[in-house]
Amino acid sequence: MIPPQEASARRREIEDKLKQEEETLSFIRDNLEKSDQLTKNMVSILSSFESRLMKLENSIIPVHKQTENLQRLQENVEKTLSCLDHVISYYHVASDTEKIIREGPTGRLEEYLGSMAKIQKAVEYFQDNSPDSPELNKVKLLFERGKESLESEFRSLMTRHSKVVSPVLILDLISGDDELEVQEEVVLEHLPESALQDVVRISHWLVEYGRNHDFMNVYYQIRSSQLDRSIKGLKEHFRKSSSSSGVPYSPAIPNKRKDTPTKKPVKRPGHEHDFRVKHLSEALNDKHGPLAGRDDMLDVETDAYIHCVSAFVKLAQSEYQLLTDIIPEHHQKKTFDSLIQDALDGLMLEGENIVSAARKAIIRHDFSTVLTVFPILRHLKQTKPEFDQVLQGTAASTKNKLPGLITSMETIGAKALEDFADNIKNDPDKEYNMPKDGTVHELTSNAILFLQQLLDFQETAGAMLASQVLGDTYNIPLDPRETSSSATSYNSEFSKRLLSTYICKVLGNLQLNLLSKSKVYEDPALSAIFLHNNYNYILKSLEKSELIQLVAVTQKTAERSYREHIEQQIQTYQRSWLKVTDYITEKNLPVFQSGVKLRDKERQMIKERFKGFNDGLEELCKIQKAWAVPDTEQRDRIRQIQKKIVKETYGAFLQRYNNVPFTKNPEKYVKYQVDQVGDMIDRLFDTSA
């Protein structure tokens, strides 16, 4: 059992805790009541606020909708007024822009184009909204007048500012200046920058709004005329320069005249072009001799044509660059094709005239004129890649003009080569033009000079022969590797063999003709000297040039063959002295015993031997002194050989009869000592002796 005191204390403790819990519970109830009251108050406030919001919404929404409608109406009114102003403005376009259109675009292109834009819009408006209105006719007429003024301004700008390119500038353009350390590219300025901008603006407007391409015809006609005149001016410059100084000169780039139409040069490594043509005058004369002044004129014409071809390429390139800024892309090629036609046709016509002149020259055997085709043809072939690039996109007829001219020149060149070879073989001039001294015949020198001239045009001449399939004529076996590389070109080795065979043919024809001509001489010795001189001249000429290497391509033994011919003719010549030495050779001398008195018959025989030798020696020396052996080395060699033979024979003869009393007047028969005979032979082939 729990003691009473502890139970009493435990009870009080429980009662105290219970009291505290009751107090806490009472506090919580009070707070809950207060919270409920606050909640009721808040609900009441919110309900009142909601009611007021609903009333406000019911009042504001109609006002908002009405305001929104008013704003929309205001906007519609403003748009309507704006449209009315815009429409009304179209009715004033004609009056506002008429003065500007009437005065034209010169000096104020931007303002003028702005007015044209307004007129264009007015035309479009009336066409869409009032096609029957008189205002449409007004703005249409004004637009057409404005378009005509723009076309007229385009023509005027092109005419005023398009200038012929000076020959000096063209020469700088195609040749450059070798003295400059850094070569500068010459850039042509066909139109001033301000004029170019106006032309471009007008052309773009005419294409976009004018719906008229007539200005393109105007453009190509004006530029075509300038291009043609520039090239003709260069040709005339060559003629005037050749008549005054003989050499067309292009000054250095920094020294150009102030009016030279160029832009500032752009420094960059330049492309050097060598357009100098080797003078043909001394190599092109035909057998009738040079015609005074003709060859120099041929050189000038050849130089001029070659430069004009190069000038056309450069100027055409420049014209195309200018054209791309002005003409619409899809019309550029056609316009360019039309633009270059006059200048190109002029070049092609001149080229055909050269071919025609060469054809006539072949008929009269004037091969000097024909050879002018060679440098021109070579240059045309060298320039053809640039030509093809410039003419990209042009009509096929335009592209085919240069290949057609090249074909014509190759054909006439091949014809000239063949006729020249035949002319060498069949030259009939045997009696009236034969050198009396047996020197080199003019036919030989002309033939060699012609062949030497071909050395400068080996590829060109070889291609001429190859283009005519002359391999069949010369019986040259064709290697498939030499002809399969291209349908239009030949392997250089094949062309070289063709040219070698041709040269050998000419030399063979020449040799046959010389043999025929040599028979004109009654004296076999002079005939031998004539052949010797000509063979020696041919051999020396071959050796001094590359001809010998070219001949050796198909004739390995040509050099040896000529040397054998030369030796053979020397031996033939030496036989002319037999009638002199035969008098004093031992086999023809009388036999006698020493100390035995000679009989009259023996003395007479010895006298005849001396007299025959003396007369023969004097006669030969007199005749052969007038003959010629131009080659000093050969002349000395022939003299020495003959002098040795005669001196030895004559020396032995003198020694044999020096102390023989065959005459009372020995000085009458022993007219010459051995050294004197040698001196006389040393004066052979020397008209001054």
Beta-carbon contacts of 128 under 8 Å, excluding residues fewer than 6 positions away, are none
Confidence bin at 596 (pLDDT 50/70/90): low
CB neighbour list of residue 261: distance below 8 Å, 6 or more residues apart: 163, 165, 166, 169, 188, 189, 190
* pLDDT single digits (tens) 162-219: 889 999 999 988 875 444 444 566 778 888 898 999 999 999 998 888 777 788 999 9
How long a stretch of residues is the chain?
689
Tell me 590's DSSP state.
P
Res 477 pLDDT > 50: no
Structure confidence by residue, pLDDT tens digits, 262-312: 443 333 222 333 332 333 333 333 333 333 334 566 678 888 999 999 999
Q: What is the pLDDT of residue 469?
A: 56
Residue ranges in 104-181 assigned as alpha helix (H): 109-129, 134-161, 167-175
Q: Are 186 and 203 in contact (CB under 8 A)?
A: no
Q: Which residues pair with 266 in a beta bridge?
A: 185
Contact between residue 359 and residue 412 where contact means Cβ atoms under 8 Å apart: yes
- Judged against a pLDDT cut of 90, whether residue 226 lies above it is answered with yes
Q: In the prediction, which pLDDT does 121 show?
A: 85
* Mean pLDDT calculated for residue range 109-136: 84
* Residue whose structure tokens are 């001016």: 233
Bridge partners (DSSP) listed for residue 184:
267
pLDDT at res. 485? 36
| Token pair 């000529």: residue | 562
Is 605:671 a contact under the CB 8 Å cutoff? Answer: no
Q: What pLDDT, on a 0 to 100 scale, did the predictor assign at position 243?
A: 65
Q: Which residue has the tokens 């076309």?
A: 151
Q: Which letter, b or e, does each residue of 505-542 get, where b requires 16 or more Cβ atoms within 10 Å of its Cβ? A: bbbebbbebbeebbeebeeebbbbbbbbbbbbbbbbbb
Task: Please compute, for residue 538, the number of CA atoms within 13 A of its CA located in the half-sphere on the CB side.
Answer: 29
Average pLDDT over residues 549-572: 94
Better-scored residue on pLDDT, 268 or 248: 248
Alpha carbon dihedral 25, 30, 33, 34, in 10-degree steps, equals -140
Burial letters for 653-662: b for 16+ Cβ neighbours within 10 Å, e otherwise? bbeebeeeeb
pLDDT value for 689: 56
Average pLDDT, the chain: 82
Q: What is the pLDDT of residues 40-97, one digit of tens each?
A: 888 889 888 888 888 887 878 888 788 888 888 778 876 765 665 556 667 777 778 8
Amino acid 296: pLDDT:
60
- Contact yes or no for 443/510 (Cβ under 8 A): yes
- Token digits of residue 684: 């052979």
Per-residue pLDDT at 359? 92
- Paired tokens of 220: 């190509």
| Parallel/antiparallel/unpaired status of strands 184-185 and 266-267 | antiparallel
CA 574 to CA 404: how far, in whole Å?
Answer: 58
Q: Which residues pair with 188 in a beta bridge?
A: 262
* Tokens 């450059």 belong to residue: 176
Per residue in 664-673, pLDDT tens? 888 888 888 9
pLDDT tops 60 at residue 246? no
Concatenating the DSSP letter of every residue in 329-345 gives HHHHHHHHHHHHHHHHH
∠ CA 342-348-351, rounded to 5°: 140
Q: Distance between CA atoms of 339 and 342, rounded to whole angstroms? A: 7
Which of 668, 676, 677, 669 has its CA nearest to residue 642? 677
Find residue 185's DSSP bridge partners. 266
pLDDT attached to residue 258:
35
How many whole angstroms separate alpha carbon 115 and alpha carbon 488?
Answer: 59
Contact call for residues 284 and 445 (beta carbons, < 8 A): no
The 8-class DSSP code of residue 209 comes to I
**What is the reported pLDDT for 256?**
37
Residue 649 corresponds to which tokens in the numbers above?
């024979």
Measure the CA dihedral 396/397/401/407, to 10°: 80
| Residues 689, 626 contacting (CB under 8 angstroms) | no
Question: Among 232-246, 247-261, 648-662, where is mean pLDDT lowest?
Answer: 247-261
- Interval 575-597 mean pLDDT: 77
Query: Of 268-277, 425-434, 549-558, which range is least confident?
Result: 268-277
End-to-end CA distance of the chain: 191
Neighbours of 496 (CB within 10 A): 18
Q: Report pLDDT digits (tens) over 487-539.
A: 334 467 888 899 999 999 999 999 999 999 999 999 999 999 999 999 999 99
Q: How many helices, marked H, and strands, marked E, lie in the chain? A: 24, 2
* pTM (two decimals): 0.72
Burial string for 30-65 (b: 16+ CB within 10 Å, else e) reads eeeeeeeeeeeeeeeeeeeeeeeeeeeeeeeeeeee
Q: Is 305 left (phi over 0), alpha (psi -120 to 50) or beta?
A: alpha
Residues 6+ apart with CB under 8 A from 284: 295, 298, 367, 368, 369, 371, 449, 450, 453
Kindly state the helix (H) or strand (E) to which residue 407 belongs, with its residue range. helix 401-426
- For residues 351 and 243, give the distance between their C-alpha atoms in angstroms, rounded to a whole number: 23
Residue-wise DSSP of 238-295: HHHHHHHTSS-----GGG--TT--BPPPEE-PPPP--------TTT---TT-PPTTHH
Rounded CA gap, 348 and 356, in Å?
12
Q: Of all helices (H) and strands (E), which one includes residue 184? A: strand 184-185
Evaluate whether 376 touches 456 at the Cβ level (below 8 Å).
no
Average pLDDT for residues 440-444, to the nearest whole number? 92
Cα distance between residue 314 and residue 311, in whole Å: 5
